[in-house]
Structure 1
Amino acid sequence: MEMHAFGTLNYVVLLVYLTAIMLVGVYFARRQKSADDYFKAGGRIPGWAAGISVFATTLSSITFMSIPAKAYTGDWTFLIGQYVAILILPFVFMYYIPFFRKLNLTSAYEYLEKRFDVRMRLFASLSFMLFHIGRIAIITYLTALALIPFVDISPLTIVFLIGVLCIVYTFMGGIEGVIWTDVIQGIMLSVAAVLIFVMICFNVDGGMTEIFRMSAEADKYFPAEKFAWSWSDSTIPVLVIGFFFASLQQFTASQDVVQRYIVTDSLEETKKALITNAKLVAVIPVFFFAVGAALYAFYTQHAELLPANFNTGGILPFFVISQMPAGVAGLIIAAIFAASQSSISSSLNSISACFTSDIYHRLGKEHSPQKTLFVARAVTVSAGVFGVIASTYLIMSNESELWDAFNSLIGLMGGPMTGLFMLGVFVKRANANSALVGVIASVAAVLWVRSATDLNFFFYGVIGTLVVVAVGYITAPLFKGKSEDDIKEFTLQHQK
């Protein structure tokens, strides 16, 4: 495939973006006086900024590129998942956020110790940290891999720009720096999606009307066969169920999102964060799918512009580099960097929060705020370095299967983690030992389903969550738990 020169102007635009992100980290570094500042921003974050941060955190560079590719080659059915994520937010606000804010948690998994015991806290926290170290490596690697064919930047340089700069500004600015860079990056992602779509419209004969007509003619929106039930294919009913539990995991059991609930100064500001996120999720992903439809129309009309045997997974960066004006292309590539960095920086800070709260403080003696801040920053650097080293190894060896399998296996812990929170909040009779039995049964069930059946992967989270709740409920009478007074403020009954 032809390598397209990135060009001086595009380099300048990318450099300006990277410099601006670094300056944000430098600016907020002076506010990091304690671990509370580093992980909670002292409650100084407005709700709208926290909401944009949640949106940017959950949208990685792989999503930024894969959604248009999916719409280009397939259809729009995965758009359903975005709206399921919106519908779940009132449920999260009513039943989960009051616990997180009232308990003033640094790590979401502190709740699991208060409700059950330290074993459940450590299981969830370690699962989260391992998964996100793997996630950092995978996102960095796949971003570099996607850009290599289209820009004359070496893959190791891409890994350095994404990984090392994330480490630096997360190290300096803490969660406050992360959130305000997320705001910049979230705006960049949104503007880039709209800009790409508009520019393709001007290059398609017949414009926007023709784009949507061609997609309708090719039945690329919501094909009738996708409404059928299936155990193995990602049809619409499966997507609705799968995305419901995936969103539940993300918004109730994942530290990188839950941490955004405690950086504002009031419950009302947290509500604004969820509303802001919902507005962005309702609008921006539509443009990503529309970009895929526009690319389909453009390359159908201009098939000669597409190289033979082209890997359509890179259709978006290929169009950006080959068709967009210099400067604008640099801005879009910067947006891809932004999508990657917003996810990675959030992972770094949340890994640090989990280790500091769940391991360093919980299993050690009391430490001064200054020593805790030092450890928090050291963990940020360590996690980032592990991610960069792993990404570099993948680039050098050109082998991703092992890490993909690792990422998939650790990701299967999301269901059990979600089930633990659900069990704690909604099942008053559940206790620490019944929760442990539920987790063991859940992990075993998901691993068996994964290895012995062809069940669609969207069901893994469903099974993982429901088995914890069911087994935790059924086995509760077999074990002695905490007294009702000890758990009453950690269950739903107390909230009523």
Structure 2
Amino acid sequence: MSPILVFSVIAGYFVVLLGISHFTSKKADNTTFFTANRQSPWYLVAYGMVGASLSGVTFISVPGEVGNSGWTYLQFVMGNMVGYAVIALVLIPLFYKLRLVSIYEYLRDRFGHKSYLAGASFFLISQTIGASFRLFLAAVVLQIAFFDAFGIPFSVTVLVTILLIWLYTFRGGIKTIVWTDTLQTTFLLLAVVISIFVIMSHMDLGAEKVFSVVAESDLSNIFDWNWKSDRNFYKTFLAGVFITIAMNGLDQNVMQKNLTCKNKGEAQKNIFWFSITFFFSTLLFLALGVLLYKYAIDQQIPIPERTDDLYPLLALNHFGIFAGVVFLIGIVAAAFSSADSALTALTTSFCVDILDLEKKKGDQKKIRLGVHIGFTILMFLVIVIFNAINDTSVVSAVFKVAGFTYGPLLGLFAFGLITSRPVKDRFVPIVCVLSPIISFILDMNSTEWFYGYQFGFEILLVNAAITYFGLWMLYNKRPGFL
């Protein structure tokens, strides 16, 4: 695919996003940026969230990871479905009842100001890392498809990518994102469907034959019952439940979109319909992964050492121009739908939770803009650093990091919702810092200490349990003296 064609596709797509931004950001203020005035149609939010949840990680890493672990990722997604039900039935009613802008305001009301800052800070750390990992994938594809041809360094690619996102989000914020996500979801799913049809055409496979190829492949194995494996069904399923609660229900990025719905009932419908669509979309990506490996083997194309590179390699170099263009739009859409909302959520949380923007004197809109720029720069630096040290599949890296950084959040909210026990607020940040440190030590030594047992995604549960226990030990007999 020629660099000029790549540039034309990206430029055209970006012009469309700017157009949507222009129409959705008219008369926008801070309330519009943070909550979209709570007027978003639930079905629009549900459809758009598919693209944001799949993101560049799923788009590239999940098909590639099939070569390493088959369909065991589906065990995790099965747990996700239970997690989404908990979000819809427990968290959505709570957040709507309290009329929150930032969901971490709940921690202030339940525990105190120090707990509130600790929760918000862990979100800021978690989301900055996670969003940067996802955007990293898009930058890699753009580097291969366009920037390498002109000898442009990867850091410049990252800078251009993140600046494009900043330009169409800095005015309308979450209102713009709700609408751009629908476009991006469409392109993301279209890219996968077209890729499957291209493989079917090249390998002369009919619909029934494709189904049997996928079903009979050794790569389509779903369940792992080995208790020592980090992909064991029980711990992967449970991790799927609680990571969903933590990374969606306790994540300002995702919940900010849900809280733009008109009322609790519409937000719940949004969650249920989104979760069903998400499950079947994941099946589509896993099927694509099997077909990608079969295609590469049949065509005698060397499998890249990094599994994340397989789909981009085939789509951009072997599937033809049309499929390559659609893939390019798909990966850009996937990355943008994840990173744009993350940038907005980070800005919202920092302004509301850390700065308490409503109480600030002066031009509050200008302050918000400065925060938005600051997080744009921070994400750029994290991506560049990650590129220098990355040596594993991004899909594994994202959730591994999440196990450590979202654990304290899960522990805080669980303790607050399950108990009415008051705590010594000033010591809560110490517990939140020690929990991931202890979890990391356990993870690094689990094989030696626990007879060969390896932690997987369930390290999140260990982390949350340590936080919960630590909060229990902080019982405050005199709640007025925190």
Task: Please give the range of the TM-score, normalised by the shorter of the 2 chains.
Answer: 0.7 to 0.9
1:424 deviates by 0.7
Please give the alpha-carbon distance, in whole angstroms, between the structure 2 residues aligned to 1:175 and 1:465: 29
Cα gap change, 1:49/1:217 in structure 2, threshold over 3 Å: closer, same or farther? closer
Query: Once structures 1 and 2 are overlaid, which stretch shifts more, 114-123 or 140-149?
Result: 140-149
Matches of 2:90 and 2:222, distance apart in 1: 36
1:413 partnered with 2:408 = no
Deviation at 1:257, TM superposition (A): 1.1
Percentage of pairs with the same residue: 20
Quick one: structure 1 residues 372 and 423, their matched pair in 2 at CA, closer, same or farther if it must change by over 3 Å? Answer: same
Distance 2:389 2:259 in 1: 39
Alignment of 1:380-399 (within 5 A): 380-392=372-384, 398-399=388-389
Match of 1:24 in 2: 20
Which letter does structure 2 place at the counterpart of 1:227? W
Q: CA deviation at 1:291?
A: 0.7
Q: What is the CA–CA distance in structure 2 between the aligned matches of 1:466 and 1:393, rounded to whole Å?
A: 31
Partner of 1:279: 276
Deviations 1:444-468 (A, max 9, x none): 4313213332432312201111222
Residue 101 (structure 1) aligned to one of 92, 96, 110: 96
**Could you tell me how far 1:95 is from its partner in structure 2?**
1.5
2:423 alignment partner, one of 431, 442, 454: 431
1:227 partner SS: coil
Partner of 1:488: none
The verdict on how the C-alpha distance between 1:10 and 1:78 changes in structure 2, with shifts beyond 3 A counting, is same
What's the counterpart of residue 493 of structure 1? none
Q: Deviations over 1:416-472 (max 9, x none)?
A: 111101111111224344856753553343132133324323122011112223443
CA offsets, 1:90-141, max 9 Å, x none? 2222221122111111111110000001111111111211232333433333
Question: In the alignment, is the contact (CA less than 8 A) between 2:422 and 2:477 conserved in 1?
Answer: no
Distance 1:391 1:440 in 2: 24
Gaps in structure 2 of 5+ consecutive residues = 448-453
Q: 1:331: Cα distance to partner? A: 2.1
> Retained in 2: the 8 A contact 1:131–1:411?
no
Match among 295, 298, 302 for residue 292 of structure 2: 295
Give yes or no for contact 1:134–1:407 (8 Å, CA) kept in 2: no
Match of 2:123 among 108, 128, 132: 128
How many angstroms apart in 2 are the aligned matches of 1:239 and 1:73? 16
Q: How big is the alpha-carbon RMSD for the aligned residues of Structure 1 and Structure 2?
A: 2.9
Q: Secondary structure at the match of 2:478?
A: coil
Q: Which residue of 2 aligns with 1:13?
A: 9
Answer yes or no: is the 8 Å Cα contact 2:137–2:335 preserved in 1: no
Amino acid at match of 1:167: W
Comparing 325-334 and 416-425, the one that deviates more? 325-334
Could you say if the C-alpha distance between residues 121 and 299 of structure 1 is closer, same or farther in structure 2, counting changes exceeding 3 Å?
A: same
Q: State whether residues 304 and 310 of structure 2, in contact with CA within 8 Å, keep that contact through their aligned partners in structure 1.
A: no
Task: Compute the displacement of 1:11 (Å).
Answer: 3.6
Cα deviation code 1:192-250 (max 9, x no counterpart): 122211221122244444444444444222266x12322x4212222102111111102
Q: TM-score, normalised by structure 1?
A: 0.85
1:73 deviates by: 4.5
Closer, same or farther: CA 31–328 of 1 in aligned 2, 3 Å: farther
* Length-normalised TM-score, structure 2: 0.88
Q: 1:440 to 1:351 in 2, by over 3 A?
A: closer
* CA deviation string 1:317-344 (max 9, x = no partner): 1111122332431221111011111111
Cα distance between partner residues in 2 of 1:244 and 1:407: 13
Q: Which amino acid aligns with 2:421?
A: R
Alignment of 1:318-333 (within 5 A): 318-333=313-328
Shift of 1:380: 1.1
- Name the counterpart of 2:451: none
Deviations 1:366-386 (CA, angstroms, capped at 9, x unpaired): 446xx2222122211110122
**Counterpart code for 1:18:** F
The question of 1:64 aligning with 2:59 is answered: yes
Partner Cα separation in structure 2 for residue 13 and residue 406 of structure 1:
29
For residues 85-484 of structure 1, what are the structure 2 equivalents within 5 Å?
85-151=80-146, 153=148, 154=152, 155-156=154-155, 158-222=157-221, 226-230=224-228, 232-303=229-300, 306-307=301-302, 311-361=306-356, 365-367=359-361, 371-392=363-384, 398-400=388-390, 412-433=404-425, 439=432, 442-454=435-447, 455-473=454-472, 475=473, 477=475, 479-481=477-479
- State the AA in 2 paired with 1:261: N
Distance 2:415 2:28 in 1: 36
Aligned-partner residue type, residue 462 of structure 2? I
Q: Against the structure 1 CA distance between its residues 307 and 436, is the aligned structure 2 distance closer, same or farther, given a 3 Å change threshold?
A: closer
In structure 2, the partner of 1:487 is: none
| Aligned residues of 1:249 and 1:417 also touching (Cα < 8 A) | yes
Give the paired residue count: 467
CA distance in 1, matches of 2:401, 2:93: 31
- Matched to 1:175, the amino acid is I
Retained in 2: the 8 A contact 1:80–1:239? yes
Specify whether residues 315 and 267 from structure 1 end up closer, same or farther in structure 2 by C-alpha distance, changes over 3 A only.
same
For 2:273, give the aligned amino acid: T
Could you say what secondary structure the match of 1:228 adopts? coil
From the superposition, tell whether residues 116 and 266 of structure 1 become closer, same or farther in structure 2 (CA, over 3 Å). Answer: same
Aligned to 1:173, what secondary structure does the other structure show? coil
Following TM superposition, by how much is the alpha carbon of 1:310 offset from its aligned partner in structure 2, in angstroms?
A: 5.4
Task: State the alpha-carbon separation in 1 of the partners of residues 246 and 402 from structure 2.
Answer: 14
1:2-26 CA distance string (max 9 Å, x none): xxx4354444333211111122222
Q: Deviations over 1:23-49 (max 9, x none)?
A: 22222222312x211100001211112
Q: Which residue of 1 aligns with 2:49?
A: 54
- Aligned residue in 2 for 1:45: 40
